[in-house]
């Protein structure tokens, strides 16, 4: 069973919450209960955590940035040299990570 949970804030793609219901005599009741629970989670936004990384955010920013072609190319090179290798893999949300200088 899948429930639509809105659009991903960075990528803009649709996202869904899902759960598998085992076949059997009580499958219908379990499916209805699961549907109610998933819809409640969507309303409360409990399971809607972004899995986007700093790389995803940089890609989105560079596509949307305004300015000359030279400025955009400079931003791409700076991000490739100074940001992506060090923090590009880090998630935008989840946990409270502190990036220590020199680590």
The pLDDT confidence band at residue 1, using thresholds 50, 70 and 90, is confident
pLDDT of residue 94: 54
Query: pTM higher than 0.75, yes or no?
Result: no
Per-residue pLDDT of 17-49, as tens digits, reads: 889 999 999 999 999 999 999 888 888 775 445
Distance CA 91, CA 5 (A): 20
pLDDT of residue 70: 93
Q: Which residue has the tokens 């659009």?
A: 7
Q: Check residues 55 and 9 and name the one with the higher pLDDT.
A: 55
**Would you list the domain boundaries of the chain?**
2-44, 54-87
Per-residue pLDDT of 71-102, as tens digits, reads: 999 999 999 999 999 998 888 765 444 444 44
């Amino acid at each position: 069973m899948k429930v639509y949970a809105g659009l991903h804030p960075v990528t803009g793609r649709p996202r869904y919450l899902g759960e598998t219901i085992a076949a059997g005599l009580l499958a219908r009741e379990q499916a209805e209960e699961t549907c109610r629970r998933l819809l409640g989670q969507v309303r409360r936004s409990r399971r809607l955590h972004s899995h986007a990384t700093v790389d995803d955010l940089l890609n989105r920013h560079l596509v949307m940035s305004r300015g000359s072609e030279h400025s955009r190319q400079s931003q791409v090179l700076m991000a490739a040299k100074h940001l992506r290798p060090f923090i590009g893999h880090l998630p935008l949300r989840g946990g409270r990570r502190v990036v220590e200088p020199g680590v």
